[in-house]
Structure 1
Amino acid sequence: MIIQHHHADLPTPTGLMRTTVYRPHAHGQFPAIIFYSEIFQQTAPIARSAAILASHGFVVLVPEVFHELNPIGTVLAYDDEGKDKGNNDKWAKPLESHDSDTQALIDFVQTHDYCTGSVGAMGVCIGGHLAYRAALNPAIKAAFCLYPTDIHSDTLPAQKGNNSFERMADIQGEIHFIWGKQDPHVPQQGRDKIYQQAVSTGINYQWQEVNAQHAFMRDEGERYDAALAITMYQQAVALFNRVL
């Protein structure tokens, strides 16, 4: 489908959150996907991923995940300076603020006439964690989490008893985990820990481990695996078409 995009500045308890909305250039109502970026926010690869999803008939929302910590429109570079700034932002923002951001996005979806009100979540890297975290909200019917960081290590700030790993049992929708076997950010021990938690909680999940490095979806840089990326887009679209 031909798509269009525009910005929406959404009110949240921690300030305005710039969100880019990608959606079909057609009349009608469409299900929504919240697409959570890496620590670098909405880079060109993230924008292209959102456009790919939207062209399959979805309203795709890309929020600035660290809107409290940066001027509106901030995009960090894929270099050491950008990585350091993004990681510092990641460690500075509590998960509770991400939760309220997700609720603001859900509220947006449920009040616009081009949305059906049905919503899922998808993300890469820290965004994979945020898609997983979004699935704790009962309004999220499905989540597609690509190499989500910091779930196994409990390194993101949160109130006691509110870390993402321990709350896995609260997930009511369907969730897909995709991991790169050569990803040093989530090593085998960490993946095993998450897998055992998924089994013991009895959530509705699917699990894949592929021969790839971290950020294999990013179509810039030497770690990009185009063949795997195409497969993942197809699987994500199939999931959201079925569930949403």
Structure 2
Amino acid sequence: MSGPTSPLTRPKLLTDIVCDRLRNAIVDGELKLGEQVSEVQLSTWLQVSKTPVRESLLRLKSEGLVEIQPQRGTFVFRLDAAQVTQLCKYRAMIESAALQSAMESHRDALLDGMKKCVEQMRTSEAAGDLKALAQIDMDFHNLFLINSGDPYIQTGYSVIRSQLVALRHRAPIKNAVASHQVLIDAVAAGDIHRACSLLRDHVLENEPRYRTACSVD
């Protein structure tokens, strides 16, 4: 018997759908940072039973997007000033390590991807599309992880990825093209030290915007 012409695709479980919906609601701001949520409230909102909501909240807790506090309830994450500082320092450390590894092993692929992202940024910046800029910004920095070829670095970054996505959408960078073009120039020149130094400064410059996003959401 010959095999099927195309592999069967497994249908998405309801929990997966609910988790994606809640994650997007946090990232896009439908659910505010620090907002209290409940299984009953969310199941009514999404018109599903409490079981997939409960399972989804546990997943989102592991991603750092919600906090489940005994005797108090479940809350969308919110970072205080010290936590924002720690997040940015950790991000700078991980991304710098990823960038160095990517430049040493896959510089051509890295450079090609960075250039394409900046062209997309140029279009979105001209249109004033800050939401698109936030996504392209994430894609640009993700290139360091992809081209590093280091699963340990990639796993380390996954700890903060979801929180970064949520903060990026609340505080998108406005001078995207200029601030990322200098990184491209350093990578093109093969100057690892300068590229990592510029990246660290670039990441740490986000700290005031992320603090503001956490305090006013």
Please state which structure has a larger fraction of its residues in helix.
Answer: 2
Q: TM-score range by the shorter chain?
A: under 0.3
Please state which structure has a larger fraction of its residues in strand.
Answer: 1
Tell me the TM-score normalised to structure 1 length: 0.22
